[in-house]
Amino acid sequence: MAVDRRITGGTVVTPSGSVQADVLIADGRVAGLVSPALGLGSDAPAVDATGKLVLPGMIDVHVHTREPGYTHKEDIVTTTQQAAAGGVTTIFGMPNLAPPTTTLDTLNEVFDLYREKSIVDWNHNPAATDAGEVEKMGRTDIRAFKIYMVVDTGRTYPHPAGTGMHDHGHLLQMMDVIAETDKRFIIHPHDQALMDYIEGAYLARGENTPAGYASAYAARNGVIWDTAIDVILRLAEASNCPIHIAHMQTGRSIEAVRRAKARGVDVTCEVNHWALFLSTWHDVETLGPYALSYWVPDDAREAVWDGLRDGTIDMISSDHAPHTREEKEIGWTEMWSSHTGTPGIQYYYPLMLDAVNRGLVTLERAVDSAAFQPAKSFHLDSTKGRIAVGYDADLVIADPTETWTITNAEVLSRSGWTPYDGRTITGRIDSTFVRGEPVFLDGTVVGQPGYGRIAATAG
């Protein structure tokens, strides 16, 4: 066996537990996990991981690259530079672009952009709004479709026309069509009719502020999320459509998903970085629009952590959503006009390692939620999501003991800022490899645009 690279001395995290082993890499795949005492592959270039963790690369199925159409915020190159730095080896892009990804033609155009520009492996989730186009796109190598059950109030982005769906009949129709494609349906849950009523009251009182916005979206114990998720689960059960729910953030929704899984509904769900690490009332007060996304009250956040720990919440996904400072600053006085969402792909995996150090989640569950579960849920689990012989050598070397401070100076996003600026954490990514090749080494992105390829092998 000709070994191309050997990662030595590290603690390798596998689905069956952590082991002391050297990882042998050949032709972009894991060729063996061997005792450090064995000389097998000793002539190959070695990467010293002594005292460090060797993790499977994160598979992030919820990433907003902003290209095409909004490249003043971000683009595929800058997104995947951050992915490499953050230990993310595969991304799934989202369809809220210009033009939105709603047809086979626009999907192929986006695929061409990834082929030219992505540093890490990739896929894309087109919007499911037209049955005929869904059937055609379903015959491609996509892993999932996406839809938003939301209309923006006071702005036209980040949920542009062509990507939203609110009529329950239309939603059921799309589920019926997608059920025939062997793809999963990613849904941003939202009860727009309730939100119109709730936020209308806040705006009528002049509470167009970060605090008003945060309170409105969490109003009545998160009723806009809970009612939408109840509908989604019932329609999924009626259609036998595999679904994936984005933005889990209430205890009641987690219980609803737990019960649906027990009934045999094919549902997976995710938690985003902001719900775990950026959703306290203190964040809303001090960071204002830079913290929103959404506010998650303390009891709901604990329920989210519990759901992640017990596996009801299957996976972590960043919801990387960069915007310029100008698009955020208006939110201090006109929050409903601010573009909501926060950049997160560069720091989610390190924040999870810090959570492991703080005893919030086990290392094995953190890695499972970052790699194996997304691979399993989106039919990549024959090639990605674990460190095992025959799998793509998508690997991360991380120092679990290094304490460091996140700063805007290290941000690779075109937006130039992170809501975690000034936060000190323990656990840092040293190196990232995609199919055996380094894309991030010693604090520097070394991967080249165009190296990434489509992640599409079904399990």
Catalytic residue set:
319
Q: Identify the CA nearest to 457 among candidates 28, 15, 6.
A: 28
Q: By the 8 A CB rule, do 184 and 377 touch? A: yes
CB 120 within 8 A of CB 84: yes
The token pair at 380 is 């990549």
